[in-house]
C-alpha cells in the first residue's frame, strides 16, 4: 500500500465566526487523484488551500509529506516547495516572460543554475504543448495557455503533490480541454493530485476517489463510478442532479 502523503485529522477552520471546515478527516495516498467537489461556499477551495498552508487551520492536525503543519517552527516554504499549486486565476507574474515565470522558483528556491533551470523550463513547456511561447509575456497568451504555463511553473519544482483550485473555472469552454488534457497526462504519470473542479467528465475519467464537501464537512467519499451512479447522501445526489442535468 502506498504511503499517505496528505492526512487531515479532525481539521477545523474558522473565518472569524464562520466555521468553514468542520472536523475534516481525510487521507490521500501517493499517486492518488482525488477530486473535491461541492456547492459554492461549501469549503472545498479552503480545504485544498490548507494543504500548502495558504490557509492556517485552527483545530485538529494536518500532516503533509510527513510534516505536521501545526508544529511550531515548521518550515512552510520548504514544504510549499514540494507541493505545487495551480489557481483559478492563473497568477502568472505579469512582469516576467513565460520562461522567467517557470525559472524563478527553481533558481531561487532549489538553487538551480540559470542554464539548468532554462533547460527544465523549456522541457516543461514542451510537455504542456506550448514550446514556442517561452519568450512571451503572460498578457499575450490565451487563458488556456496561461494556465498550462502555470502548471509547468508548478511542475518545475518537481513537486510530490499537485493541488488544483478550480483550474478551468476562469476559462472559455474551448480552452478547458487543453488544460484538462495536460492534467490527465499528469495523473497518468502517477502524480498525486487534489483537484477542486466542476468538470465531472474529467473526474469520472481520471479520479481515483471523489470527495463531496458541503457545509464545511466531508459528506461523502467514494470511487467515481459509485459516486456518479449511486451517491449515498441525499445532498450529493441533489448536487449531481443540478450540475449533470444539462
Partner 1 sequence: MRYAFHWEVLWSGQSGRWLLQGLATTVELSALGWVLAAALGIVSGAMRTVPWRPLRALATVYVEFFRNVPLLVWMFFWYFGVPPLLPEAIREWLFRHGAEFWAGTFALGVYHGARMSEVIRGGIQAIPRTQFEAAVAMGLTTFQAYRLVIVPIALRLSIPPATNESLNLLKNSSVALTISVAELTFQTRQIEAYTARALEALTAGTVIYLVLCVGIAAIMARVEHRFAIPGLIARGG
Using the minimum distance from each CB to partner 1, give the nearer residue, 157 or 206: 157
CB 137 within 8 A of CB 97: yes
Q: How far is the CB of 205 from partner 1 (least distance, A)?
A: 27
Q: Give the binding-site size for partner 1 (rule: CB under 8 A).
A: 31
- Using rule CB under 8 A, residue 78 touches partner 1: yes
Site string for partner 1, 5-34 (x = CB under 8 A): ------------------------------
Pick the piece of the chain touching partner 1 (CB under 8 A) from 103-111, 113-121, 194-202, 218-226.
103-111
Which of 88/177 has CB closer to partner 1? 88
115 touching partner 1, by CB under 8 A:
no
Instruction: Name the site residues for partner 1 (rule: CB under 8 A).
Output: 52, 54, 76-78, 80-85, 87, 89, 91-95, 104-105, 108-110, 137-140, 150, 153-154, 157
Amino acid at each position: 500500500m502506498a504511503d499517505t502523503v496528505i492526512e487531515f485529522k479532525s481539521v477545523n477552520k474558522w473565518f472569524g465566526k464562520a466555521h468553514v471546515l468542520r472536523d475534516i478527516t481525510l487521507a490521500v495516498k501517493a499517486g492518488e487523484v482525488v477530486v473535491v467537489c461541492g456547492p459554492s461556499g461549501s469549503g472545498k477551495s479552503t480545504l485544498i488551500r490548507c494543504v500548502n498552508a495558504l490557509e492556517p487551520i485552527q483545530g485538529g492536525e494536518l500532516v503533509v509529506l510527513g510534516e505536521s503543519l501545526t508544529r511550531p517552527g515548521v518550515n512552510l516554504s520548504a514544504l510549499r516547495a514540494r507541493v505545487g499549486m495551480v489557481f483559478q486565476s492563473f497568477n502568472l507574474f505579469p512582469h516576467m516572460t513565460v520562461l522567467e515565470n517557470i525559472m524563478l522558483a527553481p533558481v531561487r528556491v532549489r538553487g538551480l543554475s540559470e542554464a539548468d533551470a532554462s533547460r527544465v523550463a523549456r522541457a516543461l513547456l514542451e510537455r504542456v504543448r506550448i514550446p514556442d511561447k517561452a519568450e512571451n509575456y503572460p498578457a499575450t497568451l490565451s487563458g488556456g495557455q496561461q494556465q498550462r504555463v502555470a502548471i509547468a511553473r508548478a511542475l518545475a519544482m518537481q513537486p510530490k503533490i499537485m493541488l488544483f483550485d478550480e483550474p478551468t473555472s476562469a476559462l472559455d469552454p474551448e480552452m478547458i480541454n487543453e488544460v484538462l488534457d495536460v492534467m490527465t497526462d499528469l495523473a497518468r504519470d502517477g502524480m498525486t493530485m487534489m483537484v477542486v473542479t466542476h468538470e465531472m467528465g474529467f473526474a469520472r475519467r481520471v479520479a481515483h476517489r471523489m470527495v463531496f464537501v458541503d457545509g464545511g464537512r466531508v459528506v461523502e467519499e467514494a470511487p467515481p463510478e459509485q459516486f456518479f451512479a449511486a451517491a449515498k447522501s441525499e445532498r450529493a445526489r441533489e448536487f449531481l442532479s443540478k450540475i449533470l442535468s444539462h
